[in-house]
Amino acid sequence: MNKNKTKLQEQGIRDIYYYASTPDRSRTAVCLLVDGNKDVLARGVSICSPQDQFVKGRGRAIACGRALKALEHNESSLPIHPREFRYGSNLGLRNGFNTKSTWLPRLEIVEETIVGKLN
């Protein structure tokens, strides 16, 4: 177990992951940091270009690092440039993601469903 995972567990925070792809074959890994009350404290997003090979473990590591950054600094950062990725428009998300590192994010429907199923 890595030190970040241990640190999160000591604070009662879980890291939850999900993945998405778009019609243009962009792949995305998303990490949600969730506390014991099922409140999402931070979200990290890792975007893989359609030209690159998607590696699930690498995407998870990048997404988790970005979520941890948002949690540690209590701020959102790393804006997603429209040319880089049009996440919300391709996946039909309610809000879309405009940063790769989001503190206290507004949840998408898929995220509400995932968090709602946690024990």
Residue 27, both tokens: 């792949």
Decide if 114 is inside a domain.
no
| 7 inside domain | yes
Q: Is 115 exposed, middle or buried (0-12, 13-18, 19+ CB in 10 A)?
A: middle
Q: What is the pLDDT of residue 82?
A: 63
In a domain, 89, yes or no: yes
pLDDT digits (tens, 9 = 90+) for 20-69: 887 767 788 999 999 999 999 999 999 887 788 899 999 999 999 999 99
Residue 99's domain comprises 3-106
Q: Is residue 23 part of a domain?
A: yes
d(CA 115, CA 92): 19
Whole-number Cα distances in Å, 100 to 31, 34, 40, 103, 116: 10, 17, 15, 10, 23
Cβ contacts of 14 within 8 Å, gap of 6 or more: 8, 33, 34, 35, 118
Number of domains in the chain: 1
| Residue 41 within any structural domain of the chain | yes
24 assigned to some structural domain: yes
Query: Does the residue 119 lie in any domain?
Result: no
Question: What does the CA dihedral 56, 17, 72, 13 come to, rounded to 10 degrees?
Answer: -130
What pLDDT is stored for residue 95 in this prediction?
Answer: 56
- The answer to the question of residue 63 being in a domain is yes
Q: Rounded distance, CA 33 to CA 46, Å? A: 15
Phi, psi (degrees; rounded to nearest 5) at 103: -95, 135
Percent of the chain topping pLDDT 90: 53
Considering the entire predicted model, what is its pTM? 0.86
Interval 65-110: pLDDT, tens: 999 999 999 999 988 766 555 544 444 454 567 888 999 999 988 8
